[in-house]
Homo-oligomer: A and B are copies of this chain.
Amino acid sequence: MKAEALKGHLDALLLATVDGGAEYGYAIREVLRTESGGEFDLPTGTIYPALYRLERGGLIVGQWTKVGVRRRRRCYRLTPAGRRALVAQRASWSKFSTAVSSVLLQERTWSTTT
């Protein structure tokens, strides 16, 4: 996958993943990789700053939790605004992907590309 392909769509993916239960960066990464059939194998340098952005934007809220004795996780949940954003992003993705597909995958009658 080209590096730029994700641009503008990552937020939606993260919101959708977080919506699937209280999640944290590391787990989100695994879930994204699995659910995407391996397409999205995102570096942590992509995940964490993005979560940060979403939190700053008020779409998710993070909370430190303890794992074991001195291990910590930052768990995120969607805010109401985040939930609305997710709905909007899904709709937006549908429109976008439909549009791209209709341009890209269109059958052309004169498509005997000489």
Taking Cβ atoms with an 8 Å cutoff, the residues of A that contact B are: 1-9, 12-13, 16-17, 19-21, 32, 35-37, 39-40, 78, 83, 89-90, 92-106, 108, 110-111, 113
Question: Does A13 contact B100, Cβ atoms closer than 8 Å?
Answer: yes
Contacts of A78 in B (CB 8 A): 113
Copies of this chain in the oligomer: 2
What does DSSP make chain A's interface, helix, strand, loop or mixed? Answer: helix
Question: Does B100 contact A97, Cβ atoms closer than 8 Å?
Answer: yes
Contacts of A105 in B (CB 8 A): 90, 93-94
Question: Does A83 contact B35, Cβ atoms closer than 8 Å?
Answer: no
15 further contact pairs, Cβ within 8 A, besides A5-B92, A6-B8, A36-B100: A1-B95, A9-B100, A12-B104, A13-B104, A20-B110, A21-B110, A36-B102, A39-B95, A39-B96, A39-B98, A39-B99, A40-B99, A83-B113, A89-B104, A93-B105
